Amino acid sequence: MDIADARVRRTVNLDGRPCAEVEVATGDDRAATLLVYFAQAADGGLEMVRVIENDADREIDWYDNPLHQAAIDRTDAYRSAAAAGGSGSFGERVLNFGSVREEVMRLLERNR
């Protein structure tokens, strides 16, 4: 999967851990936007904690719409793909896009 754009959005708390949320666009207009969450790892690096497929359409999902599931957890699929090999893990490719790694580190340091 190609990464067309990746932007650090904010910090969130997932399971009691501060995480940086990165919005990832693949460049495929039919594909959903991905929200990728990174936390500091025990070794001081970064680890991908969760991947959410965000298929929300602001025109129909601005309210609580029970007929449409806009956010789907795809973490296992992206971890399995990384374990199967290829050209670097998905999380590393996101972190290596532009200045994402530096922005994530800065954001997590600020929210310690």
| Residue 50 contacts residue 75 (beta carbons within 8 Å) | yes
| Residue 22 contacts residue 35 (beta carbons within 8 Å) | yes
pTM: 0.83
Distance CA 69, CA 82 (A): 26
| Residue 18 contacts residue 39 (beta carbons within 8 Å) | yes
Distance CA 22, CA 51 (A): 10
26 has a pLDDT exceeding 80: yes
pLDDT band at 106 (very low <50, low <70, confident <90, very high): very high
Residue range of the domain that includes 94:
5-110
| pLDDT tens digits for range 65-79 | 555 556 888 888 887
Distance CA 33, CA 63 (A): 19
Side-chain-side CA neighbours of residue 90 (13 Å): 27
Domain count along the chain:
1
